[in-house]
Amino acid sequence: MNTHFENDQIEILADKARNGAISRRRFTQLAVALMGTAAVSLRGTPVLAASGELVFVNWGGDAITAYDSAYGAPFLAETGITVKQDGSGPSEGAIQAQFESGKPSWDIVDADPFSAQALGKKGMMEPIDYTVVDKTKTREGFGWEFAASSYFYSYIIAYDAKKYGDNPPKSMADFFDVEKFPGKRGMYKWGAGMWEALLMADGVAPADLYPLNIERAHKKLEGFKANVAGYWGGGAESQSMLMNGDASMVLVWSTRAKLLEQDSGGDISFTWEQGLIAPGSMAVIKGNPGGAEAAMKFIASAQDPAKQVVMFNMLAQGPANPATDALLPPEDTRYNPVDPANMAKQIPLNMDWYETNYGPALDAYLAIISA
Amino acid sequence: MPRLSHPALLLVPLMGFMVLTYLVPFLGVAAWSVTLPEPGLGQYRAALTDPLVQSVFLRTFRVCLVVTVVTVCASYMVTLLWVRGSRMQRFLIELCILIPFWISVLTRAFGWLALLSNKGILNTWAQNLGFLTEPLTLVRNEFGVVVGMVHFLIPFAAFPLASAMRSVDERVLLAARGMGAGRGRVFAQVFVPMTWPGILGAALMVFVFSLGFFVTPAILGGGRSVMAAELIYLRIFQSPNWGLGAAISVILMVAVGGLLAVMMRQARPAGAK
């Protein structure tokens, strides 16, 4: 067997594919012709895939240093593959733009599972390889064809503890009751979690939430919106609403709960009651420069409980691997959205519903809040 | 200096740059609007009949109109002092115009939040001094958006106004005084008309610029004041529908272009005076 020659042929093809002289699909076809199907399926298309580095795209800020120290740096030590952090925000449209450019520069994205699923069904995402990514290292019910569970956060009520004293809010009904709990409210601008909160306040049982009755939720919002001081679009904004006194109760991301408690010296508190758990995930763009294999390995490496402790400590992300819960210091478990005691009080967002209904529901929501 | 046989050639590098970085991508967006997801004008029909798009455009034009009027009036007064005040006044005003001009728009938006919030400096003082019993809601609404945008845009109105005011011939003003006109009359009937092209230029600059505002309304509007730029962002990134996003962009461009044409025609006879 003249493997050296074959490899050289493949190398030439790979160069052409990288330069765009031939398409990736054509490269695979020609590689198959040269090496035989078995060899290609066994070795993948390693020459083309080995760019030797991965680009992990997150939402920027503190996340860049956190992801690097928790996952990126250890992965380099374990495999020799550099993981570059890119904080430009992998929104659904941005991922689509990457794919449609024909030459994506992103490998792994920190995306909403429902976005990854929607894009995956259009053929833009790599299916998660669950022979590499270990399903037993994720929580029951969180794992998707095109998205691997990577962390959790919740939409929870944070409130002015000084104002409400001995009678703090304990449910979404309390959040939307300005008679019993006077004061302005703050809500999330992009709708997620808010519909569920509105419906529970309107008397829908948590088990009956899905499919969401958007009209009913919006009717409740119409009647309530005069009491809303503002709709925050980012975590820092939600914090400033409470700290500046513009609202005395805000539905915030749980990742902000500890910061609020610390920054206010305990004047602002929070509850997990009827919180809404949102899953975060890692997904891989189809045709990613670093190759699907390396990307899957990276995702699997991020399932390590010790690494997830770092993410919890730095960003207050609820760990995706249930084995991580026990490693958190006991005084911090109350900040963990998926700690068994906290999780029991909450309801997970249904990603299937969001995948098909989020766009139109958000339009209707924005029309109401901006009217 | 040697004379150029074709001075217009000096514009070629800039024009080439604009064509490459602006016109070509814009034509690409325009192409999306009539091809995604299928060829035709369907996205324009969808955009023009969408109540969300309508309300966002209405709000955008309303806010931008208010911002333009307030900015130009405020700038006119400030610039008058800047051009005709004492040395100390000129120096102070220059600082007040230029320093904010160099500060990031994001920083300034959060600055206004800190200033105007319920527990912000203004409300706290007013309450401590007994002017207010309940804090005033000055931010996270359209008022906050207007304040933030006007503050950002004042330099952009002040510069064209200053150049118009500096070119006013002092002798004309003296002549008017000599003919017996009072100070107020000289200002209203001689000075203001002579600076009219500058006023229109400033208004045009401010209005067109304000249409594309994104960060300031998003932060100071409390999420309620969704404006055109943010809606386009939403359609491209958040819940992608590139065809519709592109159609909204083109509609905004056409509206701005039409407006520019009308205002330029208005400005011409005034400039010819």
List, for residues A44-98, the tens digit of each pLDDT value.
443 444 468 999 999 988 899 999 999 999 999 999 999 999 999 999 999 999 9
CB B227 within 8 A of CB B210: no
Q: In terms of CATH, what superfamily is A153-277+346-369?
A: Periplasmic binding protein-like II (3.40.190.10)
**Residue in chain A lying closest to B218 (CA):** A233
Q: Which residue of B has its CA nearest to A363?
A: B52
CB contact under 8 A, A230 and B222: yes
By the 8 A CB rule, do A112 and B238 touch? no
pLDDT at A11 over 90: no
If contacts are CB pairs under 8 Å, which of residues 109-168 in chain A contact chain B? none
Report yes or no on B213 lying in a domain.
Answer: yes
Q: Do A160 and A266 meet the contact criterion of CB atoms below 8 Å apart?
A: no
Residue B56 and residue A233: Cβ atoms within 8 Å? no
User: B60 — contact with chain A (CB < 8 Å)?
Assistant: no
CA B162 to chain centre: 17
Asked whether residue B256 is assigned to any structural domain, the reply reads yes
Distance of alpha carbon A255 from alpha carbon A312, whole angstroms:
9
Tokens 């309940």 correspond to what residue?
Answer: B134
**Is A359 in CB contact (< 8 Å) with chain B?**
yes
The encoded tokens of residue A362 equal 């958000």
- A354 in B contact zone (CB under 8 Å): no
Query: Predicted confidence band at A234 (pLDDT cuts at 50, 70, 90)?
Result: confident
Q: What is the DSSP letter of A335?
A: G
Structure letter (DSSP) for residue A71: I
What pTM value is reported for the model?
Answer: 0.83
* Residue A29, both tokens: 């076809």
Band (A21; pLDDT cuts 50, 70, 90): low
Number of A/B CB contacts below 8 angstroms equals 76
Measured between alpha carbons, how far is B102 from B99 in angstroms, rounded to an integer? 5
Q: Which of B118, B224, B237 sits opposite A92 (nearest CB)?
A: B237
- Name the A residues in 179-198 with CB < 8 Å from any B CB: 189-190
Query: Measured between CB atoms, does B110 come within 8 Å of chain A?
Result: yes
User: How does DSSP assign B34-57, residue by residue?
Assistant: HHSSSSSSHHHHHHHH-HHHHHHH
Nearest to B237 among A93, A369, A370 (CB): A93
Has residue B11 been placed in a domain?
A: no
Token digits of residue A249: 């109760």
Task: Name the average pLDDT for chain A.
Answer: 89
Report phi then psi at A267, rounded to 5.
-70, -20
Q: By the 8 A CB rule, do A259 and A268 touch?
A: no
- When CB atoms are compared, the residue of B118, B219, B239 closest to A359 is B239
pLDDT at residue A35, as a whole number: 47
CATH classification of the domain holding B247: 1.10.3720.10
pLDDT at A26: 55
Supply the pLDDT for residue B256.
86
Q: What is the mean pLDDT of residues B205-212?
A: 90
**Average pLDDT score over residue span A267-295:** 96
Q: How confident is the model at residue A14 (pLDDT cuts 50, 70, 90)?
A: low
Nearest CA in chain B to A354: B239
Q: How far is B55 from chain A (nearest CA, A)?
A: 8
Domain that holds residue B121: 22-272
Check residues A365 and A18 and name the one with the higher pLDDT: A365
**DSSP annotation of B168:** S
The pLDDT value given to residue B9 = 87
Domain membership of residue B70 (yes or no) is yes
Tell me the fold of A49-151+280-335. Answer: D-Maltodextrin-Binding Protein; domain 2 (3.40.190)
The letter for the amino acid at A242 is L
Do the Cβ atoms of A123 and A25 come closer than 8 Å?
Answer: no
Which residues, numbered 91 to 110 in chain A, qualify as contacts with chain B under a Cβ-Cβ cut-off of 8 Å?
91-94, 96
In chain A, CATH 3.40.190.10 covers 49-151+280-335, 153-277+346-369
Cβ neighbours of residue A289 closer than 8 Å, sequence gap 6 or more: A51, A55, A103, A104, A105, A107
> Is B15 within a domain?
no
- Asked if residue B58 is part of any domain, the answer here is yes
Confidence bin at A42 (pLDDT 50/70/90): very low
pLDDT at A132: 97
Quote the pLDDT of residue A163: 95
SS3 B70: helix
Domain tally, chain B: 1
B132 occurs within a structural domain: yes
User: According to the model, what pLDDT value does residue A28 have?
Assistant: 54
Identity of the residue in A240, A362, A369 whose CB atom sits nearest the CB atom of B239: A362
The DSSP-derived string for A223-267 is: HHGGGEEEEESSHHHHHHHHHTTS-SEEEEEGGGHHHHHHHTTTS
